[in-house]
A and B are shown apart, each in its own frame.
Chain A
Amino acid sequence: MERTEDQQEVDVQLEDVFIHYGETQVVHGINLDIYKGEFLSLLGPSGCGKTTTLNAIAGFLDPSGGTISLRGKVVNNVPPHRRSLGMVFQSYALFPHMNVFDNVAFGLLIRRRKSSEIREKVMEALDLVQLKGFEGRRIQQLSGGQQQRVAIARALAFNPFVLLMDEPLSNLDARLRRQMRVELRRIQRQVGITTVFVTHDQEEALTMSDRMVVMNSGHIEQVGTPVDLYRKPRTPFVAQFLGHPNFLYGDVSEAHAGRVAIKSGSHLITAETDETFDAGQRVALVLRAESTRLQREAPSNDRNFIPGVIEYLVYLGTNTEYEVALDGGPKIRVVEQIPNGIPSFQVEEEVFATWSSEDSIVLTAPSGGFLEEIE
Chain B
Amino acid sequence: MTARNRRWLTIVGLLAPAVLLLVIFLVVPSFYLLRLSFKEIGAFFEILDVTTLSNYRRAFSDDFYLNMLWGSVRLTVMITVLSLLLGYPAAYHMVHAKSSVYRTILYAVVISPLLISVIVRSYGWVVLLAQNGLVNGVLVGANIIDNPIRFLGSFTSVVIATFHVLLPFMILPIASSIQDLDPSLERAALSMGANPAQVFWRVTLPLTMPGVMAGTVLVISLTLGIYITPLLVGGPLQPLLATGIYYVTLREVNFPLGAALSFVLLAFTLLVIGLTGRLVRNFSRSTV
Residues of A participating in the B interface, judged by any CB pair closer than 8 Å: 22, 58-60, 79-87, 89-91, 93-99, 102, 106-107, 110-111, 154-155, 158, 164
User: How many A-B contacts if CB must be within 8 Å?
Assistant: 72
**CB distance A81 to B193 under 8 Å?**
yes
**Which 5 A/B pairs are nearest by Cβ-Cβ distance?**
A107-B192, A93-B184, A87-B191, A93-B188, A89-B184
A113 to chain B, nearest CB (A): 11
* Distance of A97 Cα from B203 Cα, bound (Å): 8
**Among B185, B192, B284, B288, which residue has its beta carbon within 8 angstroms of that of A110?**
B192
B196 to chain A, nearest CB (A): 8
**CB distance A81 to B187 under 8 Å?**
no
Can you list 8 A-B pairs with a CB-CB distance of less than 8 A? A80-B187, A81-B190, A81-B192, A87-B187, A93-B185, A95-B185, A97-B207, A110-B194
Chain A hits for B98, CB < 8 A = 22
Name which residue of chain A comes closest to B199, CB basis.
A81
**Among A85, A94, A99, A111, which residue has its beta carbon within 8 angstroms of that of B191?**
A85
Chain B hits for A91, CB < 8 A = 182, 184
Name which residue of chain B comes closest to A86, CB basis.
B191
A2 to chain B, nearest CB (A): 32
Number of B interface residues in the complex (CB < 8 A): 23
SS class of chain B's interface: helix, strand, loop or mixed?
helix
* Distance of A372 Cα from B188 Cα, bound (Å): 42
Chain B hits for A164, CB < 8 A = 191
Name which residue of chain B comes closest to A105, CB basis.
B192
* Distance of A164 Cα from B287 Cα, bound (Å): 28
**CB distance A84 to B193 under 8 Å?**
yes
- For window 262-286 of B, CB contacts with A under 8 Å fall at 284
**Among A86, A102, A107, which residue has its beta carbon within 8 angstroms of that of B288?**
A102
**CB distance A80 to B190 under 8 Å?**
yes
* Distance of A154 Cα from B188 Cα, bound (Å): 10
Chain A hits for B182, CB < 8 A = 91, 93
Query: Contacts A91-B182, A97-B287; is A106 near B192 (CB within 8 Å)?
Result: yes
Name which residue of chain B comes closest to A157, CB basis.
B192
**CB distance B189 to A106 under 8 Å?**
yes
Chain A hits for B288, CB < 8 A = 97-99, 102
Q: A91-B182, A96-B207 are in contact. List 13 more A-B contacts (CB 8 A).
A: A79-B190, A81-B193, A89-B187, A89-B188, A91-B184, A93-B187, A95-B188, A95-B207, A99-B288, A107-B192, A110-B193, A154-B192, A155-B192
